[in-house]
Amino acid sequence: MKEFELKYGCNPNQKPAKIFMHDGSELPIEILSGRPGYINFLDAFNSWQLVKELKEATGLPSATSFKHVSPTSAAVGLKLSDELKRACFV
């Protein structure tokens, strides 16, 4: 996919924006479902950047979420003790 028309711009009352690569190449994304808006893409790109930085800083698997361009959570993965695995039914 070389170009994707977003659901709307920054706000629902704005005209749809388009996302594309400046050099005309394929987009480096895969849309799994729905029709995202501009803010959805900003949230995804910010999440990717924070996960990348967390992994570089800690060397651990990382996860994060953003809502309206603000981070809502971040976590790193640690191995669970046997006791915690049993308590969580893992």
pLDDT (tens, 9 = 90+) of the chain, 90 residues, equals 899 999 988 888 998 889 999 999 999 999 999 999 999 999 999 999 999 999 999 999 999 999 999 999 999 999 999 999 999 999
What is the predicted pLDDT for the residue at 9? 87
pTM: 0.78
34-48 burial by CB neighbour count: b if 16+ within 10 A, else e?
eebbbbbbebeebbe
Q: Which domain holds residue 34?
A: 3-87
CA distance 46 to 37: 15
What is the predicted pLDDT for the residue at 17? 87
End-to-end CA distance of the chain: 39
Please report, as a single letter, which amino acid is at residue 82. D
CA torsion, ordered 49, 51, 57, 61, to nearest 10 deg: -160
Cα–Cα nearest to 69, from 88, 43, 32, 49: 43
Total count of domains within the chain: 1
Kindly report the CATH number assigned to the domain that includes residue 15. Answer: 3.40.140.20
